[in-house]
Amino acid sequence: MKAHKTRSFWLLFGLALIFFVGIANAAGNFVSVRLPKNVTVEIPKNWTVLTNNHRIALDSLAQEKVEVKGMAYATHDLAFAANYYDEQGKTAGMFNIIYYPDRDVSQADARAANAADVKELDAGLRQNVVPGIEMTGGRLLVWIGTTKQSINGATVFVTEYRRSSQQGGSFRERLIRIFNAQRSFTITVSYREDLDFFLRPICDRIISSISM
């Protein structure tokens, strides 16, 4: 019985080791992308940048200093987007950032936000997000909610939910909203849930790399 437990322990240890080694190897395949308004984020090299209706392999830019300049709009600035495509060419992972130059909420305001403020923000976000999902042919499956967190010294609000997709399957989506007055922005990171084991750690790393 003792020998059986020992074998089980080493089997679980071996599986865990393989898992974490895989994550470490994946981490070496990221490139730092410099975005407008002094925002940087790390994206996997095998993701594809979407710009001006063209697809550019991020890997082809990895040896250079990657800098993307956004185009200003009246109410927001959609500056950068990148997708991960599976072997069938279907979208499996997504990243985008939208700036809100008309915001006046500061980082000090964000730090001072209490539970009631977070609840109010969560309700407002849900009202805005659900119609957008439905407009693209999907539907909200589960609204997980919004939490106040800290990423690299910045106070952020992370909203998570599950949605269906018009192309089939379901996506786990996270909105990372950073209030910083005229430099406020929201980053959206999502992945297809049938690839959770592979893509969740990658998306976690993308989020943890966000820096202003």
Domain assignment present for 91 = yes
Domain assignment present for 16 = no
Identify the pLDDT of residue 10.
Answer: 45
| Average pLDDT score over residue span 79-92 | 89
Strand locations in 52-208 (E): 54-57, 77-85, 91-100, 140-151, 154-164, 170-178, 184-192
Of the candidate ranges 13-22, 96-105, 158-167, the one whose mean pLDDT is the lowest: 13-22
> In this structure, what DSSP letter does residue 169 have?
S
Q: What is the CATH number of the domain that holds 62?
A: 3.40.1000.10
The SS3 of residue 198 is helix
Is the model's pLDDT at 17 over the cut of 80?
Answer: no
Query: If you average pLDDT over every residue of the chain, what do you get?
Result: 82
* pLDDT per position as a tens digit, 159-195: 999 999 888 889 999 999 999 999 999 999 999 999 9
The SS3 of residue 146 is strand
Domain count, the chain: 1
Domain assignment present for 17 = no
Is the model's pLDDT at 69 over the cut of 90?
Answer: no
Domain that holds residue 86: 32-208
Domain assignment present for 112 = yes
Identify the pLDDT of residue 131.
Answer: 92
Domain assignment present for 4 = no
Q: Is residue 139 very low, low, confident or very high in pLDDT (cuts 50, 70, 90)?
A: very high
Domain assignment present for 20 = no
Domain assignment present for 94 = yes
Domain assignment present for 147 = yes
Is the model's pLDDT at 23 over the cut of 80?
Answer: no
